[in-house]
Amino acid sequence: QRAKEVVEWRVQQGEAQQLLEEQQLIRTNKDQFSMRPSRSSGEGVGLQLIVKVEALLNILSSYDAQLQCPLDILHYGIGDISENDVNMANTFSGSVYGFNVVASKSIVQLAEKLCVPLRLHNIIYKLIDELKDELSSKLPPLKTENIVGEATVLAMFVVSVGKRKLPVAGCRVQKGLLDRRMTFRLIRGRDAIWEGPLLALKHHKDEVQTVKLGMECGLSLDGEVEFRAGDVVVCFEELETPQVTSWDPGF
């Protein structure tokens, strides 16, 4: 009986020591993470996390994209998801991530009521993939341009629209086509001097939607701009591409 008590005591001591070591590791990693530079709240939207499990700490310590998307760890902990975790995430509009932990039915219901995301996984790379997706969703899209066509200004003339004198450029399409629905840019030499929508696009005397390669047209801009022979009119569409976090945790 005495031997059994000794064994049980040693097991309890071992579990207590392990708990102390895990808590110390949590504090150490939290201190290291908090020293990382991050942007102020006015510089963009970041991601706030509640993290439940020691196994994630070393992975999160590799996060190196704070300037792209600030990542704030609100709370580290061990054990299953608690009501406090959900309430804290709700206060800071954050998410709760857990690895090999569970959330009771009442906790799940509370999270659903407060619209707090619970990201619970038993496979580490799936958790990291979801974290990367959430980080990427916080980033603004990348804006790119697709050049649709170009035209050269051959001459400039003025037409009267009511009491208004409107400058019109006589052009020939040199590349692609001009599409009135797109955005236009007027280039003189190496400088872009105007950008915006067209006011009118005509082929001969007819209003048209598009003018194809090699055709001549008359166009007027939605702005007070004087054309010069040799100016280039660029027709382009603005595209938005989802941005992806640059963080690579290594797997």
pLDDT at 19: 46
Bridge partners for 145 per DSSP: 238
For the chain, list the strands marked E by DSSP.
Answer: 47-52, 71-77, 95-99, 118-121, 142-161, 164-176, 178-179, 183-188, 191-196, 198-203, 206-207, 210-211, 216-221, 232-241
Alpha-carbon gap, residue 33 to 35, rounded angstroms: 5
| pLDDT, tens digit (0-9, with 9 covering 90-100), for 150-203 | 999 999 988 877 777 889 999 999 999 999 999 999 999 999 999 999 999 999
Instruction: Tell me the pLDDT of the chain averaged across its residues.
Output: 84
Give the chain's domains with CATH numbers. Answer: 2-137 (3.40.50.10050), 142-240 (2.40.30.10)
pLDDT at residue number 208? 96
Per-residue pLDDT tens digits of the chain, which is 251 residues long? 444 443 344 445 444 454 455 455 555 555 545 444 444 433 456 888 878 776 787 888 899 999 999 999 998 888 899 999 999 999 999 999 999 999 999 999 999 999 999 999 999 999 999 999 999 999 999 999 999 999 999 999 888 777 778 899 999 999 999 999 999 999 999 999 999 999 999 999 899 999 999 999 999 987 778 899 999 999 999 999 999 999 999 87
Q: Which residue has the tokens 């955005």?
A: 183
